[in-house]
Amino acid sequence: MSRTPLIVGNWKMHKTIPETVDFCLRLKEELGAAVGPRVAVAPPFTSLLAAAQVLKGTSISLSAQDVFWAEGGAYTGEISAKMLAEVGCRFTIVGHSERRQYFHETDEAVNKKAAALIKEKLIPIVCLGETLAQRQEGAAFAVVEKQTRGGLEGLAVKDPENLVIAYEPVWAIGTGQTATPEQAQEIQVFIRKLLEKIFSSPMAREMRIIYGGSVKPENISELMAMADIDGALVGGASLQADSFRQIIHGAIK
């Protein structure tokens, strides 16, 4: 088994262009050439080009936070996969719970977005996870199954490196209440079994399933010690170069 850990910083709607440049310069300096895990940052659309210019030639990749599925046309305000590829993105987050909650993104939309990204050779990071109420009702597995199947079925994934799943329990995002390593592992091994059914066993064994929800320097090592946690999607703690760097170093299994 050879799943390279992946740490992605999701900046959400934070950082101006000068702040992006400062952060990327610092990260580049502090991480040096040998990082260990694969690392990506996901700035807002307006900062992607500036980040790409600073990170060019480094091992740090660029991710977008969203995409629209059409190739082009009259879709005011939207951005296509081709545009993201052109600016230098390697990854794109889709189906983040904030987009599901505030912008009513459905599993069908997530599926179409992921398919559009794959077509342009970009790697979708498909986010899914249950709310607190769903967990308390005992529906966590059913919700995760619906989102996994709805978001992933039919995707033309040829190489397990080319799709990433991010399990992000909604109750753990931005709350400081991280899932225990055992809670995350329990769901992530379940997701891997679903991936076997959707794709194939060899594919599922090699695909990265990362965890997101209040990941910090203090808890990354214990999360990464779990067999089915292959990295992290980091929100708040990715906004400071220091804490992001500590998470990256702490992620080496």
Q: Look-up: residue for tokens 């220091």? A: 242
H-run or E-run covering 208: strand 208-212
Q: Which of 157, 195, 234, 241 binds ligand PEP (CB under 6 A)?
A: 234
Q: Residues near 194 by Cβ (< 8 Å), separated by ≥ 6?
A: 145, 148, 149
Q: Which of 215, 220, 247, 248 binds ligand PEP (CB under 6 A)?
A: 215
Contact 228, 196 (CB under 8 A): no
Active site residues: 96, 168
Q: Which of 43, 212, 231, 250 binds ligand PEP (CB under 6 A)?
A: 212
- Cβ burial, residue 81 (10 Å; 0-12/13-18/19+): buried
Contacts with ligand PEP, 10-49, as mask; x by CB under 6 A: x---------------------------------------
Residue 63 interacts with ligand PEP (CB under 6 A): yes or no: no
Residue 213 interacts with ligand PEP (CB under 6 A): yes or no: yes
Residue 110 interacts with ligand PEP (CB under 6 A): yes or no: no
Q: Choose the binding region for ligand PEP from 51-59, 62-70, 147-155, 207-215 (rule: CB under 6 A).
A: 207-215
39 backbone dihedrals φ, ψ, rounded to 5°: -125, 140
H-run or E-run covering 118: helix 107-119
Query: Which residues here bind ligand PEP, judged by CB under 6 A?
Result: 10, 168, 173-174, 212-215, 233-237
